[in-house]
């Protein structure tokens, strides 16, 4: 029992250290400040600003409560252990292991101190060459990220997607919302390679498919990234779907091209041209922020326009379903043979391995 008490005390100390590093007390004060503002009768006079503040409140409250609850539960189990009732030992050990696992899943927050790490994330998924197999693979990745969000404290929304001719998707944009969404999802930025027996050819041959995932921070304030209107080319066109889907009879879809970088964003999900333009501008700002944050000025030239073919040969992660099963990250060498679990959204270990590799164990 004494060893278990010592481990509980150490876990409590690590948790309280993390709480200080994350300034949970300051964030709790901000939550209370926002609650006062939200209770004011004039709060919703400016709907856009009110929605932004309400979202900030929700994210901060979720983070504060999760850490405070964890701390409180560790204290309760420690107090129970210090009673030294050996008939409770097995139950206390189970609770300790559960609390330790919860802490380790949350500890990544301490490692994230980048400018946009606390922001929401925008994921762009592009099918590579390979026709239907690549488009099906892009949709498998989209499903993986949606399920990851379902299994965590994140929310996911498909902003737009373009369906493939036979199956899958050609491309999609997903918004991931929640505490440290960008900090977590940045590990997924790059080319993902799949090896499997193709379900789309009669010979059932082994097929290698590629998909590119671009991860950018969502930039809520336009002033965070200055976009010169003269650098933009805005095209409007009629949106619609394939098959029996209904199509708009007005030119509501919007495509914005940022001419200095060649970045193109097309949005057609909303019925209103104005709404589509606002969404496209938000996505554009996110992609420009990503360039500013992670690329040197000379490297921006390499990112202009469409994805170059050489990028497809530098995968960050391999998913092998045949002749054996293995998912391996080429940057960290972390791997698992449980491919089905990964494709169902269990990518926490890959994210943590990336953070440890890129940021370091001590968060420096």
192 and 237, same domain (yes or no): no
> Does 139 fall in a domain?
yes
CATH code of the domain covering residue 350: 3.30.70.1660
CATH code of the domain covering residue 280: 3.30.160.20
CB atoms within 10 A of CB 176: 24
CATH code of the domain covering residue 23: 1.20.58.410
HSE (side-chain half, CA atoms, 13 Å) at 257: 9
pLDDT of residue 105: 79
pLDDT of residue 56: 87
- Report the length, in residues, of the chain: 364
* Whole-angstrom distance, CA of residue 251 vs CA of residue 239: 7
31 and 164, same domain (yes or no): no
100 and 6, same domain (yes or no): yes
Tell which residue, 4, 15, 6, has the closest CA to residue 73.
Answer: 15
> Does 364 fall in a domain?
no
Domain boundary among 299, 333, 351: 299
Please give the tally of structural domains in the chain.
3
215 and 325, same domain (yes or no): yes
CB atoms within 10 A of CB 217: 27
> Does 166 fall in a domain?
yes
277 and 319, same domain (yes or no): no
101 and 48, same domain (yes or no): yes
* Whole-angstrom distance, CA of residue 286 vs CA of residue 28: 28
pLDDT of residue 311: 54
Residue 353 CA to its chain's centroid (Å): 15
Q: Give mean pLDDT in consecutive 10-residue pieces for the chain, a chain of 364 residues.
A: 92 95 93 96 92 88 93 96 90 95 84 81 91 95 96 89 91 91 92 93 84 87 70 82 46 86 84 83 82 54 45 83 95 96 95 80 44
Which residue stretches of 82-130 are H helix?
89-106, 108-111
> Does 327 fall in a domain?
yes
204 and 350, same domain (yes or no): yes
Q: Are 167 and 132 in contact (CB under 8 A)?
A: yes
73 and 96, same domain (yes or no): yes
7 and 60, same domain (yes or no): yes
**Tokens found for residue 243:** 């098959």
> Does 307 fall in a domain?
no
Domain of residue 93 covers: 2-106
Domain boundary among 73, 106, 139: 106
Query: Phi-psi region for residue 23, left (φ > 0), alpha (ψ -120 to 50) or beta?
Result: left
Q: Are 99 and 71 in contact (CB under 8 A)?
A: no
89 and 236, same domain (yes or no): no
Domain boundary among 57, 79, 106: 106
* Whole-angstrom distance, CA of residue 200 vs CA of residue 348: 31
205 and 331, same domain (yes or no): yes
pLDDT of residue 250: 60
* Whole-angstrom distance, CA of residue 135 vs CA of residue 129: 9
């Amino acid at each position: 029992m004494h060893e278990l008490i010592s481990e509980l005390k150490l876990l409590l100390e690590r948790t309280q250290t993390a709480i200080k590093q994350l300034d949970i007390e300051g964030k709790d004060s901000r939550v209370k400040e926002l609650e006062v503002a939200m209770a004011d009768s004039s709060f919703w006079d400016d709907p856009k600003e009110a929605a932004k503040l309400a979202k900030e409140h929700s994210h901060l409250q979720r983070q504060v409560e999760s850490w405070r609850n964890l701390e409180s539960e560790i204290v309760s189990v420690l107090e129970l252990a210090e009673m030294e009732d050996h008939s409770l030992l097995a139950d206390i050990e189970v609770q300790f292991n559960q609390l330790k696992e919860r802490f380790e899943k949350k500890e990544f927050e301490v490692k994230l101190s980048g400018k946009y790490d606390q922001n929401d994330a925008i994921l762009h998924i592009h099918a590579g060459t390979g026709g239907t197999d690549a488009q099906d693979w892009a949709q498998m990745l989209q499903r993986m990220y949606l399920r990851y969000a379902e299994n965590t404290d994140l929310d996911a929304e498909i902003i737009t997607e373009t369906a493939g001719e036979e199956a899958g998707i050609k491309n999609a944009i997903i918004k991931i919302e929640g505490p440290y969404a960008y900090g977590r999802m940045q590990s997924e930025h790059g080319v993902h390679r799949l090896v499997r027996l193709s379900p789309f050819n009669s010979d059932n041959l082994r097929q290698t498919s590629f998909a590119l995932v671009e991860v950018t921070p969502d930039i809520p304030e336009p002033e965070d990234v200055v976009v010169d209107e003269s650098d933009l080319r805005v095209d409007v066109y009629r949106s619609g779907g394939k098959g029996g889907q209904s199509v708009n009879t007005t030119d509501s879809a919007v495509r914005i091209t940022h001419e200095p970088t060649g970045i193109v964003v097309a949005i057609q999900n909303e019925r209103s041209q104005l709404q589509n333009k606002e969404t496209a501008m938000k996505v554009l700002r996110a992609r420009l922020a990503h360039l500013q944050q992670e690329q040197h000025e000379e490297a921006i030239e390499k990112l202009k326009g469409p994805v170059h073919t050489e990028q497809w040969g530098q995968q960050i992660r391999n998913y092998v379903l045949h002749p054996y099963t293995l998912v391996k990250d080429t940057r960290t060498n972390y791997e698992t043979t449980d491919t089905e679990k990964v494709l169902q959204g269990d990518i926490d270990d890959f994210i943590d391995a990336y953070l440890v590799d890129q940021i370091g164990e001590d968060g420096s």
